Amino acid sequence: MLGQMQDHPLLISTLIDFAARHHHEAQIVSRRVEGDLHRYTYADAAKRSRRVANALDRLGVAFGDRVATLAWNGYRHLELYFGITGSGRVVHTINPRLLPEQIAWIANHAEDQVVCFDMTFLPIVKGIWSHCKTVKHWVALCDADKLPADTGIANLVSYEALLAAEAETYDWPQFDERSAAALCYTSGTTGNPKGALYSHRSTMLHAFAGALPDSLGVSARDSILPVVPMFHVNAWGIPYGAAMTGAKLVFPGAALDGKSVYELMESEQVTMAAGVPTVWLGLLNHMAQHGLKFSTMKRTVIGGSACPPAMIKTFHDDFGVTVVHAWGMTEMSPLGTVNTLKQHQLALPVEQQLDIMAKQGRAVFGVEMKIVDPDGNELPWDGQHSGDLLVKGPWIISSYFKGEGGDPLVDGWFPTGDVAAIDADGFLQITDRSKDVIKSGGEWISSIDVENIAMAHPAVAMAACIAVPHPKWDERPLLVVMKKPGAQATAADILAHFEGRIAKWQIPDDVAFVDAIPLGATGKMQKNKLREQFKGHALPGA
């Protein structure tokens, strides 16, 4: 017997319609590449999203065709999110920090029909447009009079000219909720990038889950500043969750330095922000240097790589902001776990709470997870055993776009490539990416543990712990350190800081100082580059 309730497909168009009707006055504020602040409402965003849909009809873009974006976080990007998906096309967000050849490769692989780009990225487009065989239209996200006449790019139009010609009414089509909605390629540190193709259903369920109070806790009382880019895993789903709840959105555009982000947070009364750990270093430095405080900020979601406990403590002690540590990946839309305390943990001393908050958090409803040993046997949730982490759920990948790389699943589970422990309360702790694990004399050393300790040293701005080949132990840890500007510290000072904080055999054998640690296109430390650079490093006593 079937239930007797209405059967409506879960479609992304319903989000922007809901926001326009119930939160028409809620604001969307964007720092534009033009430099100024743009301000409008969900009602305006909905109208312009429908203009986008009409424009795509006029350009002859078919249902399911890919429409790409190369853009910062901003209101035009948001309109594209809803206009493209709502009308049944697929929004393909491309990471502009990739090399131009990689961008062209991805656009060709995705068979993008249209590419919409911020003017910042005009030089990239000039270099690649003739190599992108499937792209029929290039749309510059600017006013008609800002479009230079001599770009040489064929079929180039300005976004504002395109939208001006269209009506702001549009009947969103109804279709199968399992239809593709958005495409995002993994960074592909090894091999070619692979596409994760989200559906309307997966995106909607992910938005519901992301809005839950023990998850990102998005609400109509929030003013949210996503620093995490809309070109990487849909800014962790925040644009969708914000429309679902009517939260105010504050987009930083290209101005991601500490001063600009701080000023925007204060002027727009931001209550919640989200980003990878490296983006917060600039903000915290700026605030410390100028003795600044927040007046409205309550919490910041940090994920993408491990958030150092020292950063969680600084946010808590110095700025009264709760860090919500989260873990996920492109293949998971991305939410997997989010760290919020349980009722029985609320009475614990603050120091113990901060220890728990340094873990990656608890599974969001919808995500099943398990850890297994090398033979695939499930390991206990005791916070001690660590093993390969596998996940499954309705917003987790079942296969890559165009079947790239074959079937990624093992008995229906997706192997994340992360090594983790899970404690009795269900809190996940990532110890490493499997390829970053350091194997010393048959034992594993967690590079994240070592980095977290190093990051608590006052002279250290950033630290990466990597394996260096060793004749006796196979591999030993080397700590690569970027010092804070003007800070003084020797290798011995930093190694002394590990005494008593970690088992002796886990302390790095040496410290190498560098001017900068290479970061990838999504702000993560590129340890593969460091391993290459330091593979011949002579460890003391080796």
- Under the binding rule (CB under 6 A), the answer on residue 329 touching ligand ADP is yes
Of 329, 325, 327, 413, nearest to 368 by C-alpha is: 413
Instruction: Mark whether 168 is an active-site residue.
Output: no
Cβ distance to ligand ADP smaller for residue 224 or 338: 338
Residue 304 in contact with ligand ADP, rule: CB under 6 A: yes
Q: Is residue 416 part of the contact set for ligand ADP (CB under 6 A)?
A: yes
Nearer Cβ to ligand ADP, position 215 or 223?
Answer: 215
What is the H or E stretch that residue 136 is in?
none
Where residue 447 falls (left for φ over 0; alpha for ψ -120 to 50; beta otherwise) is: alpha
Within a 10 A sphere around the Cβ of 256, how many other Cβ atoms? 18
One of 166, 522, 525, 527 touching ligand ADP (CB under 6 A) = 522
111 is catalytic: no
Binding letters toward ligand ADP, positions 160-199, x by CB under 6 A:
--------------------------xx------------
Buried b (16+ CB within 10 A) or exposed e, 21-44: eebeebbbbbbbbeeeeeeebbeb
State the Cα–Cα distance between residues 473 and 513, nearest whole angstrom: 23
Q: Smallest distance from the beta carbon of 251 to ligand ADP, in angstroms?
A: 20
Q: Does 68 bind ligand ADP (CB under 6 A)?
A: no
What is the enclosing helix (H) or strand (E) of 500?
A: none
Q: Using CB under 6 A, pick the residue from 325, 362, 470, 537 that binds ligand ADP.
A: 325
- Residue whose tokens read 């983790």: 420
| 532 labelled catalytic | no
Residues β-bridged to residue 466: 478
Comparison of 186 and 314: residue with beta carbon closer to ligand ADP:
186
Find the part of the chain contacting ligand ADP (CB under 6 A) among 18-26, 96-104, 299-307, 315-323. 299-307
List Cα–Cα distances, 480 to 310, 345, 371, 436, 533, in angstroms: 18, 35, 29, 14, 11
Paired residues of 386 in beta bridges: 421
Residue placing its CB nearer to ligand ADP in the complex, 191 or 540: 191
Q: Is 306 in the site for ligand ADP (CB under 6 A)?
A: yes
Report how far residue 418's alpha carbon sits from residue 337's, in angstroms, rounded to the nearest whole number. Answer: 13
- Does 433 interact with ligand ADP (rule: CB under 6 A)? yes
Site string for ligand ADP, 348-367 (x = CB under 6 A): ------------x-------
Residue 218's nearest CA partner among 251, 200, 253, 244 is 244
Q: Could you say whether residue 252 binds ligand ADP (CB under 6 A)?
A: no
The nearer residue to ligand ADP, 86 or 229, going by C-beta atoms, is 229
Residue ranges in 490-519 that form contacts with ligand ADP under rule CB under 6 A: none
**Exposed, middle or buried by CB within 10 Å (0-12, 13-18, 19+), for 1?**
exposed
Q: How far apart are CA 390 and CA 477, in angstroms?
A: 26
Residue 91 C-beta: closest distance to ligand ADP, Å: 18
- Minimum CB separation from ligand ADP for residue 324, in Å? 10
Query: Which member of 122, 147, 371, 430 binds ligand ADP (CB under 6 A)?
Result: 430
Q: Distance (Å, rounded) from C-alpha 56 to C-alpha 67?
A: 9
- Please answer whether residues 82 and 13 qualify as being in contact, where contact means their C-beta atoms are separated by less than 8 angstroms: yes
**Residue from 262, 327, 400, 401 in contact with ligand ADP (CB under 6 A):** 327
Question: What residue type is assigned to position 124 of the chain?
Answer: I
Extended beta strands in 50-107, E state: 66-70, 90-93
SS3 label, residue 37: strand
* Residue 305 binds ligand ADP, judged by CB under 6 A: yes
Active site residue 72: no
Catalytic site residue from 41, 134, 444, 484: 444
Contact 179, 187 (CB under 8 A): no
Binding region for ligand ADP (CB under 6 A) out of 85-93, 399-407, 416-424, 454-462: 416-424
Please count the residues of this chain forming the interface with ligand ADP, following the rule CB under 6 A. 19
Report the site for ligand ADP in 126-155 (rule: CB under 6 A).
none
Q: Considering only the stretches 132-140, 201-209, 253-261, 303-311, report the one whose residues sit in contact with ligand ADP under the rule CB under 6 A.
A: 303-311
Q: How far apart are CA 518 and CA 224, in angstroms?
A: 29
Catalytic residue among 166, 268, 331, 451: 331
Taking the least distance from each CB to ligand ADP, the nearer of 88 and 226 is 226
Q: Segment contacting ligand ADP (CB under 6 A): 24-32, 128-136, 167-175, 300-308?
A: 300-308
- 158 belongs to the binding site for ligand ADP (CB under 6 A): no
Q: Which is nearer to ligand ADP, 93 or 187 (CB)?
A: 187
Nearest CB to ligand ADP, comparing residues 43 and 354: 354
Q: DSSP of 252-271, one letter per residue?
A: -TT--SHHHHHHHHHHTT--
Q: Which one of the listed residues 439, 443, 490, 532 is annotated catalytic?
A: 439
Beta bridge partner(s), residue 224: 249, 272
Binding of residue 330 to ligand ADP (CB under 6 A): yes
Lookup result for tokens 């990532």: 430
Interaction of residue 446 with ligand ADP, rule CB under 6 A: no
Q: Which amino acid makes up residue 289?
A: Q
Instruction: Determine the Cα angle at 154 with ends 153 and 160, to 5°.
Output: 80
Choice between 418 and 509, CB closer to ligand ADP = 418
- The catalytic position among 186, 314, 337, 416 is 186
What distance in Å separates the CA atoms of residue 86 and residue 181, rounded to the nearest whole number? 8
Helix (H) or strand (E) holding 479: strand 474-483
* Residues within the interface to ligand ADP (CB under 6 A): 186-187, 233, 303-306, 325-327, 329-330, 360, 416-418, 430, 433, 522
- Which residues form the catalytic set? 186, 331, 439, 444
